Structures are given as C-alpha cells and as structure tokens.
Amino acid sequence: GRKWFITNAAHPNCKIFIVMGKTDPEAASHQQQSMILVPRDTPGVTIVRNITVVNHYAPEGHCEITFDNVRVPARNLLGEEGSGFALAQARLGPGRIHHCMRSIGAAELALELMIDRAQSRVAFGKPLNKHGTVGEWIARSRIEIDQARLLVLKTAWMIDKVGAKAARKEISMIKALVPTVHTAVCDRAMQVFGAMGISPDTPLADSWTLG
C-alpha cells in the first residue's frame, strides 16, 4: 500500500508508525478500518520522499510512504479490529482544538508584526497605520481573531461538557473558520511589509503557507 502526506514521518525520533488500513471490506463502512503499530525499520517500509507543500519544506516531513509485503505481529493491533475509524474520530475533535489554537497564536503574531510595521513605516508623508486601508486591515484582523478564538473556546467548552460527538458541528466550524482567518491576517501583514513580507526575513510567508 501507499500513504501520502504523513506528518513527521522523517523526524529522527519517529520510530513507530500508526498505520490505518482496511482490514474487513465486508464490514459496515465505519468498521472496515483498523489501526496497527508498524516500526519504521520493518522490512518493506520505505519513505519514498518528503513532499513540499506550496513550496514549503518541513524537515520533519509530509512524507510519501510505501508498504511492500510488510508483516507485523497480531499484537500490534491497536484496540479491536474494525475500531480504527472510532479511534481516529476520538482524537480528531480535541486535536482540532489544539491546531486551531496554534493557528490563532500564529495569527496574533502576524497582527503584532503588522501593527509594528504600520507604525514605523512612513509612506506618502505619514505612517502606514494612518492610511485608511491599512487601519481597516488592522481593525478587521483584530475582530476576526477574537471571533475565531471565542468560537474555539466555546467548542472546547462543549467537548468538556457534552463530548466531541455532540460538538461535531462546532468542531467543523472551527476547522473551516480558523485557517481562513489565519491566512487572511498573514496576507494583510505581508502586504504591509511589501516585498519583505514574502521573504524569509519575517515569519509571515512561512506562517501563511502553514495556515
């Protein structure tokens, strides 16, 4: 088999893969998958390449991995056969809270850099933050970040109170909203910086790519 975009597979500390694959095609659709522990050095496991994403290169990897006649003991099964989908779903809800809060933190940094640049850079006789468009970008970014943060906090509260399954609508909302806000704030910040914003001299272009 083949797996794509496996995060951190090339990290030197990554010694074991959790492989999710179909073990019973005849079972109900949500019970066809199982999770199995596969040591990275198992014969037949090959990291084919580290895939760049929108020209972003992560040393830890978004890897393509092939599995050629790989065999591991039955005891490497995680949970019960057919429980792979349930295990994945149990992690995804809280996991999205984690990733969304990281993105909000990155958006906060982008806004901070945007404000600093807008206050210090003078164009056409006045600082950038005195130009209407740039001032609107700063205000809009502050509003959007706070809105996104409040929705993520509400979602986290719901997971604590009623569980991830009951909060699935809110979980879907934050996974759609937060990356949009993150990339929008980074885009505005890059424009305030001009050409420097798309260079490695600031973290903005990298943050935009990750968003």
What does 125-190 look like in DSSP terms, one character per residue? Answer: TEEGGGSHHHHHHHHHHHHHHHHHHHHHHHHHHHHHHH-TTTTHHHHHHHHHHHHHHHHHHHHHHH
Task: For residues 124-142, give the mean pLDDT.
Answer: 94
Q: Would you place residue 192 in the very low, low, confident or very high pLDDT band (cuts 50, 70, 90)?
A: very high
- DSSP code of residue 194: G
Model confidence at 211: pLDDT above 80: no
Task: For residues 181-205, give the mean pLDDT.
Answer: 96
- DSSP code of residue 27: S
Task: For residues 80-109, give the mean pLDDT.
Answer: 93
- 2-81: which CATH architecture? Beta Barrel (2.40)
Map tokens 């659709």 to a residue.
29
How far from 132 is each of 30, 123, 136, CA to CA, in Å? 53, 13, 6
Task: State how far Cα 199 lies from the chain centre.
Answer: 22
Helix (H) or strand (E) holding 105: helix 84-120
Higher pLDDT, 180 or 206: 180
CA 136, 142, 148, 150 dihedral sign is: negative
Q: Would you place residue 35 in the very low, low, confident or very high pLDDT band (cuts 50, 70, 90)?
A: very high
Determine the CATH number of domain 85-210. Answer: 1.20.140.10
Query: How many Å apart are CA 112 and CA 10, to the nearest integer?
Result: 33
Cα radius of gyration (the chain): 22
* pLDDT at residue 55 in the model: 63
Matching fold, domains 2-81 and 85-210 = no
Task: For residues 93-105, give the mean pLDDT.
Answer: 94
- DSSP code of residue 69: S
Domains of the chain: which residue ranges?
A: 2-81, 85-210
The answer to whether 178 and 103 have CB atoms below 8 angstroms apart is: yes
Q: Would you place residue 172 in the very low, low, confident or very high pLDDT band (cuts 50, 70, 90)?
A: very high
pTM: predicted TM-score of the whole model, two decimal places: 0.81
